[in-house]
Chain A
Amino acid sequence: MSADATTGGPAAAPPANGFVARAWQSIQMPLIATLAGLLLTTVLILSIGKSPLDVYAALLRGALGSVFGISSTLRWATPLILAGVAVTIGFKAGLFNAGLSGQIYLGGLVGSLLGFTIDLPAGLHPAVAILGGGVAGGFWALIPALLRRYLGASEIVTSLMLWYVAIGISDFLVRQFFRDPTSAAFLMSVKVAPDAVLPSFFPVGNVSVMLFVSIAVAIVAHYLMQRSRLGYEVRLTGANPLYAFYSGLPTGRRLILAFCVSGFLAGMIGAAESIGINQRFVSQFDPGFGFDGFLVALLAGGNIAGCIPAGIFLAILKAGGTEIERTLGVSKSIIWILQGSIILVVSAYRLRDQINALFKRRTGP
C-alpha cells in the first residue's frame, strides 16, 4: 500500500474547467478537514463545560479584534507562509521535508551567530544574517537529500531524525561558547548587535519587513515553479520521475536542488525569528513551525501562492489561541488538536468523494 499515495496533499481529481470550478475543487479537501477538526474541538470544548461559540469568538477577537491582535496575526503569518512554501517546494519534487524544524533550528543558530560575531551596517546586517541562516538550513537539508539520491533512504525519516541532531548540536555550541552569562534558567546566547535586529514597523508587536519578504518569496517561487524551465523540470521530476529521468533530465540533481531550497527557506525562518523576535538564539525557540509548515502546505494543496492565505489562516489560529487561554481558561492545546485533526483528514480523498456522491444523490443528477 501507499505506493500510490500522493505527497502533494489531496489526490488529484479529474481536472475541472474554469477558474471558479478549479478553485472550488482545490479547497474542498481543506474545507472538509477544517470542518472535521472544528467538529472534534467543539465536542472537546463542550465536554469540559465551556461554550464553543465563546471560544471561537474569543479566537477571532484575539486574532483580528485589535491592533495588537492583527500585529500578532501578521507576526505569525511571516514564518508560517515561508514554512508552507518550503514544504510545498518539496512536494513539487515529490519529496516530503519532515525535518523542517531541524533546518529552522540550525538557521536560527547561524543567523544569531552572524548577528553578534560580525559587524556590518544596519541595512546589510539582518540580510546577511538571514541569508546565512538560509545557507545553514540548506546545508542541513542537503544531507537527507544526498542520502535519498544515492542510497534511497527515506528523506522523511532521515530529515526528521536530523531535527533532533540539529537541536543537540546547536544547544551544545551555545552552551559551550556563546551562552549569555546572565541567563541562569534558560539556555540562550548573547544578544545580537543592535544593527542586526529586524525592527518592527507596527506600533505594537513584532511585525518586521520579513513579512513582505515571505510574501514576495511565495509569489516569486510560485512564478518560477510554474513558468521557468527549472521549475518545470522540478515539477516533472515530482510528477513522473521515471518519465523525467528517461527524458534525459538530471532528476537526481533536481531532487537535491528542491530539497535544499526547501531547507534554505526553513533556515531563513529560523534566522529571522532569532534576530527579529528574540534578538538572540534561545534554546527551543521554534514553537513547532515544522508541523505548521505541513499544515499550511496541505491546506494550500500544493499551490505555492496558496500558502499566503493558508499561512494567514493558521496565523489567526495561533494568535487567537493565546486569547482563549487568557480569557476563557481553555488550554490553547485545543489549537494543536484542531491542527492535528486537519492534517489527519486533509489527504483522505475518498472522504471527499463520498461526500460529493451523497450531495449528488440528494440534489438529483
Chain B
Amino acid sequence: MDILTLSLFSSTLVVATPLILAAMGGMFSHQVGVFNFTLEGVMLFGSFFSVAFTILTGNIWLGILLAGLACIVLSAMWSWVVVDMGADPIISALGFMLLAQGGTIFLLNAMLGQTGGAFSPLQLDFIRLPFIDGLPVLGPLLSGHTILTYLSWLTLPLFVFILYGTPFGLALRAVGEKPEAAAAAGINVRLMRYCAIAITAFCCALAGAQLSLGLLGMYTDNMTAGRGIIAFAAVVFGRHRPLQVFLVALFFGFAAALTDRLQGFGLPSELLNTLPYLLTVIVLAISGWRLLSRRNGMQAPPPL
C-alpha cells in the first residue's frame, strides 16, 4: 500500500488549484472587511459560463475571459446589496448560492438547450514545463498541469505584491482595518469594496473553469459540490493573509487528494468524502478563532 507516492502530491496540486484560486480571491474581500460567502455560488457560475462561452465562441481563452466578466457582473449584484444596501453578508450570500444553483440550470437550458450538463469541445492543455519536465522528481510533480494550476501558484507572489507593495493594496488594507480613517484619507471606501469583490469573483470564475475545463472537460449541475465553502474556510482559517490562506488551501487540497487515493484501496467512499468537511470543522474548532464569530459578544462569554 503505497499511499504517499509522488502521484499523490502531484494530484494534490491538481485538486488544490480551484481551492487556492477561490481562497486567494476570497482573501481580497476579507481584506476590505467584507465577509464573502459567495465563493461557492460564483465558482459554480464560473464553471458553467466557462463551458458555455467556450462552446458559443469556439475559443477556450475567450470563454474563460467572458466567464470571468460574467461572474464579476453577477457578483456586483451581491456587492450592491451588501455594500450599499446594508444586507447581511451571510444571508444574502446563501441567497446568491441558491441563485447560482437555479441560475446555472436555467441558463444551461436557455443558452445551450441542455439539461444536467454539457461537454466542452475544448479542454485546457496540460503544459510540459520546458526544463523541469526532464528532472527526476520535480518533473512529474511540477510539470504537466493546466495553465490555471500554474496561475494559482503565481497568485501568491502576485497578491503579496499587490497587497503590500502597491498604493492600491495599501488602500484596500486601510479600508479593511479602519473604514472611517480610510475615508478621511480620501480613499473611496465603496469603490475599494466593489473592486475587491470583483477580484474575488474573477478568481472564483477561474477556479470554476479549472473544475469544468481543466479537470473534466465538461460541466455538470452543481459540480462545485461545496468546494467554495471549503475555500471560504481556508480564507477564514488563514486569517486572510496571503501565505497562510495559500498553505491552508493547499492542505485542504492534500486532504481531498488523499481521500481520492484511499478510495482506491477499497475504503468506503461515502465516509472518505466527508474528510475535507470534517477536517474543516476540526480546524475551525482547534483554531478557536474569535474573529470568525461575527456578532461581538456572541462568542463564548468571558470565563468567570
For residue B110, which residue of chain A has the nearest CB?
A48
A168 to B294, Cβ gap below 8 A? no
**Would you give the shortest CB distance from A45 to chain B, in whole angstroms?**
10
Cβ–Cβ < 8 Å partners of B191 in chain A: none
For residue A237, which residue of chain B has the nearest CB?
B298
User: Does chain A have a CB within 8 A of B125?
Assistant: no
Cβ–Cβ < 8 Å partners of B232 in chain A: 157
User: Does chain A have a CB within 8 A of B86?
Assistant: yes
**Would you give the shortest CB distance from B105 to chain A, in whole angstroms?**
4
For residue A9, which residue of chain B has the nearest CB?
B91
Cβ–Cβ < 8 Å partners of A128 in chain B: none
B102 to A335, Cβ gap below 8 A? yes
B96 to A172, Cβ gap below 8 A? no
Stretch at the interface among B4-12, B14-22, B131-139, B266-274: B266-274
With contacts A164-B274, A241-B297, A291-B98 known, is A347 near B288, CB below 8 A? no
User: Does chain A have a CB within 8 A of B89?
Assistant: yes
User: Does chain A have a CB within 8 A of B181?
Assistant: no
With contacts A164-B226, A337-B99 known, is A2 near B294, CB below 8 A? yes
Per a CB cutoff under 8 Å, which of B96, B280, B284, B292 touches A340? B96
Per a CB cutoff under 8 Å, which of B34, B102, B226 touches A334? B102
Cβ–Cβ < 8 Å partners of A298 in chain B: 91
User: Does chain A have a CB within 8 A of B183?
Assistant: no
Q: How far is the CA of A94 from the CA of B294 in the complex (A)?
A: 11
Q: How far is the CA of A143 from the CA of B34 in the complex (A)?
A: 27
A168 to B91, Cβ gap below 8 A? no
B285 to A151, Cβ gap below 8 A? yes
For residue A47, which residue of chain B has the nearest CB?
B110
A336 to B105, Cβ gap below 8 A? yes
Chain B 246-304 interface residues, beta-carbon cutoff 8 Å to A? 268, 270-271, 273-274, 277-278, 280-281, 284-290, 292-302
Cβ–Cβ < 8 Å partners of B298 in chain A: 94-95, 241
B110 to A152, Cβ gap below 8 A? no
User: Does chain A have a CB within 8 A of B85?
Assistant: yes
Stretch at the interface among A58-66, A196-204, A348-356: A348-356
With contacts A1-B35, A172-B271 known, is A351 near B85, CB below 8 A? yes
Q: How far is the CA of A343 from the CA of B101 in the complex (A)?
A: 14
User: Does chain B have a CB within 8 A of A211?
Assistant: no
User: Does chain A have a CB within 8 A of B147?
Assistant: no
**Would you give the shortest CB distance from B194 to chain A, in whole angstroms?**
14
A-B contact pairs, 30 of them (CB 8 A): A1-B179, A5-B294, A5-B295, A7-B295, A11-B86, A44-B106, A147-B285, A151-B285, A152-B288, A152-B289, A152-B300, A153-B287, A153-B292, A156-B90, A157-B292, A161-B278, A164-B226, A167-B274, A168-B271, A169-B270, A172-B270, A241-B297, A241-B301, A331-B109, A331-B115, A334-B106, A339-B98, A339-B102, A340-B96, A340-B101
Q: What is B's interface to A at a CB cutoff of 8 Å?
A: 33-35, 77-78, 81, 84-92, 94-103, 105-106, 109-110, 115, 179, 226, 229, 232-233, 236, 268, 270-271, 273-274, 277-278, 280-281, 284-290, 292-302
Closest 6 pairs (CB-CB, A-B): A336-B102, A343-B95, A340-B99, A340-B98, A344-B95, A168-B274
